[in-house]
Amino acid sequence: MEFKDRLRKARKHRKMSQAQLSAATGLDQTTISNLETGKVQSTSKVVQIAHALRINAHWLATGEGEMEGSRPNHLRLAVTEGDAELVDMEVIEGDEPLSHEEVWLPVFREVEFSAGDGCPQVLENHGNQKRFSLTRLNRAGVRPENAALAVAKGDSMTPVISDGATLGIDKGCRHIIDGKVYVLDHSGMLRVKRLYRMPLNRVRVVSDNADEYPEEVYSLADPDAPKILGRVFWWENFD
């Protein structure tokens, strides 16, 4: 079978409409239709499609293995002039045991406890962790013990970082490099901003969506100033 046949077979086996698959993957419904008819012969979202259909991404991409075998969705697709090529492991999904190229990373999250004053706190892990590619960490020069993840909320950093994007954080880098993106704990709120140093131990906190989110200035000595959790070395991109 060709890719178009495998995609159509898997979608019908899962009893999903093209509209439902579109909503689950973020692909336009017309694109899915074109993939199934062969008008479009490749996509960089094979892993996302396979994850939505709960099938083996390698089978979907190549036809090798079983459709519903183990789902080692450790594939990244490089798309050049319409042709997709399998390259090294990047996107890590699924619940199978870690491979030698993966590591569990803690996830920063906002937690509001019912006990106490009910104020939110930013906690690392709190039982939540995700697998991540060691290859990506090594390429970024980030030690695994210094790495963590978070999820961006809102549109303050669009169009660079989208709402819901997963972020890779280097906790070992908490000094300010002008213009770099950092994850901040601001009185229990998890924020993602660009930072710039200023005289007198002050810092500019800048959003990429500056029209809706004006920049802020804080003294680092102020107890209400945001606390730097780490520098963002990677973020998930969406079409």
The boundaries of the domain holding residue 156 are 102-235
Do the domain assignments include residue 91?
no
Q: How far is CA 29 from the centre of its chain?
A: 23
Domain boundary among 86, 116, 143: 86
Do the domain assignments include residue 96?
no
Number of structural domains found in the chain = 2
pLDDT in tens, 158-192: 989 988 888 999 999 999 999 999 999 998 888 99
**Could you tell me the CA-to-CA distances from 2 to 27, 41, 69, 73 in Å, in that order?**
20, 9, 18, 19
Residues 76 and 107 grouped into a single domain: no
Length of the chain: 239
Residues 186 and 211 grouped into a single domain: yes
SS3 assignment, position 179: coil
**Could you tell me the CA-to-CA distances from 186 to 23, 112, 121 in Å, in that order?**
33, 14, 9
Residue 32 parent element (H or E):
helix 29-37
Least confident of 91-100, 106-115, 187-196, 206-215: 91-100
Residues 66 and 114 grouped into a single domain: no
CATH number at residue 139: 2.10.109.10
**Residues 89-96: contacts with CB within 8 Å, 24+ apart?**
89/133, 89/135, 90/133, 90/135, 90/136, 91/47, 91/133, 92/130, 92/131, 92/132, 92/133, 93/47, 93/51, 94/51, 94/70, 96/70, 96/71, 96/72
pLDDT in tens, 189-231: 889 999 999 999 999 999 999 999 999 999 999 988 999 999 9
Do the domain assignments include residue 97?
no
Domain boundary among 21, 56, 86: 86
CATH number at residue 64: 1.10.260.40
Residues 58 and 137 grouped into a single domain: no
Residues 118 and 205 grouped into a single domain: yes
Residues 128 and 20 grouped into a single domain: no
How deeply is 192 buried, as exposed, middle or buried, from its count of CB atoms within 10 A (0-12, 13-18, 19+)? buried
**Does the global pTM surpass 0.85?**
no
The two tokens of residue 183 are: 């994850």
Integer-rounded Cα Rg, in Å, for the chain is: 21
